[in-house]
Amino acid sequence: MCSETILEFAVLRFRDGWQVVGPAGRGRSFSYRVDAEEAALRLAAQARKTASEVRVLVQDDGCQLHHLKAA
């Protein structure tokens, strides 16, 4: 049986802005969603060196998570 490592990063809206949440927990806050998305993409690029699959999810206005198409 093959074991795959899948890591997920989520860009989530919080009261004080946007944060990237990943395997290590919550990261720093960003005022703008695009800045948090860019940070998540950088983390995903680093994680691809050791993980089989990396996903970046973004919270929409209805609180649903969607795959970031650039990831």
pLDDT digits (tens, 9 = 90+) for 24-66: 888 889 999 999 999 999 999 999 888 778 999 999 989 999 9
> Residue 4 — pLDDT band, cuts 50, 70, 90?
confident
At 3 the pLDDT is: 60
Provide the whole-model pTM. 0.86
Pairing assessment for the beta strands 17-22 and 6-14 based on DSSP bridges: antiparallel
Beta bridge partners of 61: none
CB atoms within 10 A of CB 4: 7
Q: Could you tell me which of 28, 38, 33, 26 has the C-alpha nearest to residue 59?
A: 33
- Residue spans per domain, the chain: 6-67
